[in-house]
């Protein structure tokens, strides 16, 4: 099996986390709107609100782009794999129209911002393809749905890549970008307009009121409104955790000495393969992605990275690998993003989540939608998406997700009951969940250091599982992740695994 030849680490876009200028923490921070999360959603929303005259403070638990946006594949497209035909099967047409309108608005927002701020956009045809007979009908359905929505799509029977396809659909003049460049430009524009961005501040709770008080690990921050742009919302009161699943996948970058590609690609076969190129200051790269799985399941994760590397070599020949990374995103039961109040009728606390790995255009659309909702002039698509009622298939998916979560919860506790610590402790790079009396404990060894913490996720009691490629403890219930010492990396948990 071809091994990934570089350690898991920063992406091609965010090679030096924490290198974007931000503001220092100070006590007594107050603004019209407090935003938790400095990914694309939080920063695009902050800028839109500043342009509308609101004051804004953005609180980021880690560093700008530390989670999904910094580790995306960065395609900004209206053709999104087989998303449109999937939504078409599950939703009334008005909601699909609203989804496309939201993405068109978000894509245009990024195009204009990038043009004004000198962020390079690489224009590409977006291509959805199948390499198997079984995948061809999905591509044909996507072509039919996209065409019925007025998108200028056409069928393809071959591609420029060394891939034999059974069906393809192409949408011209979409674009791809370097997410690090976009985030840095957004941060600069926000701070130029007087917005404040503070890194290393984790929001832990929000007290609704006038003003709202955001409780953080550094102190309180006050605002008339609060937006959780944190991926999965960390507040339990909206109940979003019951309808959202966290999915993680992998990306590898290679030196690419061939001409620039004309397309950016996503397959509909399982496992899906995402392919794009990227022009960087030191030359051109090829980025491949895929091997999606629910967070906290599907171990060993090293095998997923190795499989992706092997597929790349088999497809493109021997290339020099430079980067290996992974990230997760969130899928709502009805597969539509949610940008609106955390619970019906709440006019203080808002969330933006559920992009199903299509959060570039959707993240910018979230900003347009929320700023419009606050100003009372939200576009029609925003109100359609905000006011939707659960469809029968969404209810079925929510019940299925609940059953999966309950199953994972039971499996985690039973697994811990049955396991015992190897005589010599875990091997280097390994982690095990074992029983200590009645308590499940997580024991791992990384760089020679053995760490031991509770295996019970502080969010809602799931039992964490070891992720061997990222040396982290991942919760299968709602996607919280913790480093080897138990500190929170991402997800809805706001406190560490207890020691």
CA 112, 115, 120, 124 dihedral sign is positive
The residue from 75, 459, 471, 484 that contacts ligand FES (CB under 6 A) is 459
Which residues in 195-254 contact ligand FES (CB under 6 A)? 241
Q: Which residues of 340-357 are buried (b: 16+ CB within 10 A; e: fewer)?
A: bbbeeeeebbbbbbbbbb
Q: Which of 12, 29, 36, 433 binds ligand FAD (CB under 6 A)?
A: 36
The residues, ordered by sequence, that sit 6+ positions from 383 with a Cβ below 8 Å of its Cβ are none
Q: Please check whether residue 83 is in contact with residue 141, taking contact to mean a CB–CB distance below 8 angstroms.
A: no
- Please report whether residue 183 would count as binding ligand FAD according to CB under 6 A: no
Judged by CB under 6 A, the residue of 312, 328, 397, 453 near ligand FAD is 328
CB of 247 to ligand FES, least distance (A): 14
Residues 366/335/391/136 CA torsion (nearest 10 deg): 130
Which residue from 353, 89, 141, 397 is spatially nearest to 268, judged by alpha carbons?
Answer: 141
- Residue whose Cβ sits closest to ligand FAD: 359
The verdict on 234 binding ligand FAD (CB under 6 A) reads yes
Rule CB under 6 A: choose which of 14, 20, 42, 187 binds ligand FAD.
Answer: 42
- Record the tokens describing residue 129, joined without a space: 């393809």
Q: Pick from ligand FES, ligand FAD, none: which does 480 bind, CB < 5 to 8 A by kind? A: ligand FES
The residue among 274 and 440 lying less far from ligand FAD, judged by its C-beta, is: 274
Judged by beta carbon, residue 249 or residue 480, the one nearer ligand FES is 480
User: Which one of residues 358, 466, 473, 482 is an interface residue with ligand FAD (CB under 6 A)?
Assistant: 358
β-strand pairing of 465-467 with 472-474:
antiparallel
Q: Does 35 bind ligand FES (CB under 6 A)?
A: no
* x/- map, 385-414, ligand FAD, by CB under 6 A: ------------------------------
324 touching ligand FAD, by CB under 6 A? no
3-state secondary structure of 442: strand
Contact (Cβ atoms closer than 8 angstroms) between residue 88 and residue 96 = yes
Q: Judged by CB under 6 A, does residue 488 bind ligand FES?
A: no
Q: 232 near 491, Cβ under 8 Å?
A: yes
Write down the least CB distance from residue 451 to ligand FAD, Å: 22
Question: Min. distance of Cβ 153 from ligand FES in angstroms?
Answer: 38
| CB proximity list for 116: less than 8 A, separation 6 or greater | none
Interaction of residue 460 with ligand FES, rule CB under 6 A: yes
413-427 CB burial, b ≥16 within 10 A, e <16: bebbeeeeeeeeebe
Q: Please state, in angstroms and as integers, the Cα–Cα distance from residue 466 to each residue in 189, 355, 445, 480, following that order.
A: 39, 26, 11, 12
Binding site for ligand FAD (CB under 6 A): 36-42, 59-62, 66-69, 72-75, 202-203, 229-231, 234, 249, 251, 289, 327-329, 355, 357-361, 363, 490, 494
Binding site for ligand FES (CB under 6 A): 241, 457, 459-462, 475, 477-480, 491-493
């Amino acid at each position: 099996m071809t091994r990934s030849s570089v350690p898991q680490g920063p992406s091609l876009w965010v090679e030096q986390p924490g290198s974007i200028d931000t503001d220092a923490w100070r006590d007594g921070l107050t603004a019209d709107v407090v935003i938790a999360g400095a990914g694309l959603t939080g920063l695009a929303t902050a800028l839109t609100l500043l342009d509308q005259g609101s004051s804004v403070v953005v609180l980021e638990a880690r560093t700008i782009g530390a989670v999904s946006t910094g580790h995306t594949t960065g395609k900004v497209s209206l053709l999104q794999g087989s998303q449109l035909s999937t939504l078409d099967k599950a939703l009334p047409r008005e909601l699909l129209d609203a989804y496309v309108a939201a993405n068109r608005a978000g894509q245009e927002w990024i195009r204009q911002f990038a043009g004004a701020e000198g962020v390079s956009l690489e224009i590409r045809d977006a291509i959805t393809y199948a390499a198997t007979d079984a995948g061809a009908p999905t591509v044909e359905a996507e072509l039919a749905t996209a065409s019925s929505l007025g998108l200028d799509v056409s069928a393809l029977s071959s591609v420029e890549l060394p891939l034999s396809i059974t069906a393809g659909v192409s949408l011209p003049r979409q674009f791809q970008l370097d997410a690090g460049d976009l985030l840095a430009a957004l941060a600069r524009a926000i701070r130029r307009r007087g917005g404040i961005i503070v890194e290393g501040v984790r929001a832990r709770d929000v007290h609704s009121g006038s003003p709202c008080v955001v409780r953080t690990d550094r102190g309180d921050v006050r605002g008339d409104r609060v937006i959780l742009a944190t991926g999965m919302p960390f507040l339990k009161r909206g109940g979003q955790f019951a309808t959202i699943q966290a999915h993680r996948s992998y990306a590898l970058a290679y030196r690419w000495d061939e001409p620039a590609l004309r397309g950016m690609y996503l397959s509909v076969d399982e496992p899906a393969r995402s392919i794009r190129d990227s022009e960087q200051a030191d030359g051109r790269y090829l980025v491949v992605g895929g091997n999606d799985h629910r967070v906290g399941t599907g171990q060993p994760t090293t095998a997923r990275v190795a499989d992706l590397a092997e597929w790349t070599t088999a497809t493109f020949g021997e290339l020099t690998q430079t980067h290996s990374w992974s990230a997760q995103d969130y899928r709502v039961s009805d597969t539509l993003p949610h940008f609106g109040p955390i619970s019906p009728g709440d006019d203080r606390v808002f969330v933006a989540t559920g992009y199903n790995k299509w959060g570039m255009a959707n993240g910018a659309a979230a900003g347009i939608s929320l700023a419009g909702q606050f100003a009372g002039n939200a576009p029609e698509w925003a109100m359609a998406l905000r006011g939707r009622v659960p469809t029968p298939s969404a209810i079925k998916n929510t019940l299925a997700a609940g059953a999966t979560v309950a199953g994972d919860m039971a499996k985690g506790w039973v697994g811990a009951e049955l396991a015992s610590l190897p005589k010599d402790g875990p091997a280097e790079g390994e982690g095990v969940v074992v029983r200590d009396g009645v308590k499940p404990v997580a024991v791992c060894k990384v760089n020679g250091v053995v760490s031991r913490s509770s295996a019970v996720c502080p969010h809602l009691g799931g039992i964490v599982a070891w992720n061997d490629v990222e040396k982290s403890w991942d919760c299968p219930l709602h996607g919280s992740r913790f480093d080897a010492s138990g500190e929170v990396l991402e997800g809805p948990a706001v406190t560490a695994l207890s020691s």
